[in-house]
Amino acid sequence: MSSDTGIQGFRETSFTYQGKTRRVYRAGTGPGVVVMHEIPGITPQVIKFARELVAAGFTVAMPDMFGEPGKALSTPYIAGQLARACISREFSVLAANKASPITEWLRALSRDLHNEIGGKGVGAIGMCLTGNFALALAMDECMRAPVLSQPSLPLPLTKAKRRALHIAPQQLECLKRRAQDENLKVLGLRFHGDPLSPPERFQTLRAELGEQFEAIEIESKFGNPEGNKPAHSVLTTDLIDQSGEPTREALDRVLAFFKETLV
């Protein structure tokens, strides 16, 4: 099901799995990439990032998981949507060793996108609350390019949760097997000093995946001075979209990663 309403330049479609239907915004041609937006929703900054993917030659599928598409950022908006996510049964924000239930729906969306487009496979990027979701999506062979931007779940309230990856032990074993046997690579991005995306999480990924995990870690001072304090959203709110800026270089690396893996 689709229409031409919603975000300018994107078709508003829907996808249903196990009785749950959500809006999915689609645009572009070429290999598929699932864009999982951050808190508080599909903001103008997230839309700008999605358009970068479209311009680079990818088909973007951007599911609407919370918030109001196109609504601008504000502190009350962020706080309200975070509170809703924390009490939602679909988001297990404190779970260290299991993925949020919504990832099953997202896996089905990824498979459907691959079945439609074909090719080598699809990519996915999660941001903040959805950051680690790309790891759960990599349980399916069609997922070839998982990207984690400032992964923030589980909320890092304890030492164990700071190290945790928000996937079940059997999912981690599957990820490691795919990394070894299928040359699956994972790309991660974060700012130094980001309390929501602690360095221990990337240390775990390095220990488990070795050279198959590529990390981009940026000093907070290179984030958008008008953005978060400390800097948090590498590819959206804290992006400085100018040549030579570390955040722009990180965005270019994400685009190159998808091209290397999917094209």
Cα 90 from Cα 19, distance rounded (Å):
14
CA distance 37 to 125: 8
Within 8 A by CB and 6+ apart from 104, the residues are 17, 18
Query: How far is 239 from 65, CA to CA, in rounded Å?
Result: 23
**C-beta separation of 190 from 234 below 8 A:** yes
Average confidence score pLDDT of the chain: 96
Q: What is the pLDDT of residues 163-210, one digit of tens each?
A: 999 999 999 999 999 999 999 999 999 999 999 999 999 999 999 999
Structure confidence by residue, pLDDT tens digits, 56-114? 999 999 999 999 999 999 999 999 999 999 889 999 999 999 999 999 999 999 999 99
Q: What is the pLDDT of residues 134-149, one digit of tens each?
A: 999 999 999 999 999 9
pLDDT, position 228? 86
Q: Average pLDDT for residues 150-161, to the nearest whole number? A: 97
